[in-house]
Amino acid sequence: MARLTWHGHATFTLETDTGHRVMIDPFLDDNPVADVRADEAGHLDYILCSHGHFDHFADAIPLAKRTGAMVVGTFELVEFALSQGVAHGHGMNVGGGHQFDFGYLKLTPALHTGTIAGDDEGRYTSTPTGLWLDLGGKRLYHSGDSALIMDMQLLRGRVDIALLPIGDNFTMGPEDAVRAVEFIEPRVVIPMHYNTWELIAQDPRGFRDRVGSRAEVVILEPGGSYDF
Ligand SMILES: [Zn+2]
């Protein structure tokens, strides 16, 4: 049984059937709704980052240094992490996949903007991505901070659990997230990237009503888990 725990915003911890602990988009210490601080996050084997904005990357470097976890993301994002003293990194790029010991990861297109928090000299670019994971046949898609894009149609039939933003303003809002569900046809949808701040306040139950019978919408509270 794999377990996915939401920490608020776009941050999740994934405990895989292979016994690995993988954190996605770590944003804990400055995240007003997070259930844990970075120093309470426990052991991590991998840190996957969809892009370099602070609300997805702020705790990646300190967590990687403390836990020895490998940072995975776009080539430039990983190069930046390595330049800051992170010991282990694996750079990839959009459309590329790699078989890790915890599962297979492919970086998918996402439409958003990109800077890297902490890159004060602006030497590194940050192309936002989504994360598509195949964990022994259980397929998980974390869209990152994307707009609704036609590319999501390419995922139809290839996603069991979709993690989609509904916050609006910076990402898809509920209406476009429903269309993303129509594009992807996942079995389960978990909304994310909402209620972190007033600007992205949303009612996830309203989103669940709009999705209707298209998919099962699982609403997590920060600290809540979904087993699959
Ligand atoms: Zn974001």
Give residue-wise pLDDT tens across range 151-194.
Answer: 999 999 999 999 999 999 999 999 999 999 999 999 999 999 99
Distances (CA, A) of 180 to 154, 211, 217: 11, 10, 13
pLDDT of residue 121: 84
**pLDDT of res. 26:** 98
The 10s digit of each residue's pLDDT in 50-72 is: 999 999 999 999 999 999 999 99
Q: Measured in angstroms, how far is the CA atom of residue 174 from the centroid of ligand 1?
A: 15
Here the tokens at position 56 are 């997805």
- The Å distance, Cα 130 to ligand 1 centre, comes to 12
Name the average pLDDT for the chain: 97
* pLDDT for the residue 115: 85
Whether the pTM exceeds 0.95: the reply is: yes
Give the C-alpha separation, 81 to 76, whole Å.
9
154 CA to centre of ligand 1 in angstroms: 23
Using the 8-state DSSP alphabet, how is residue 191 labeled? E
Q: What is the pLDDT of residues 98-130, one digit of tens each?
A: 999 999 999 999 999 988 888 888 888 789 999
Q: How far is the CA of 29 from the centre of ligand 1 (A)?
A: 15
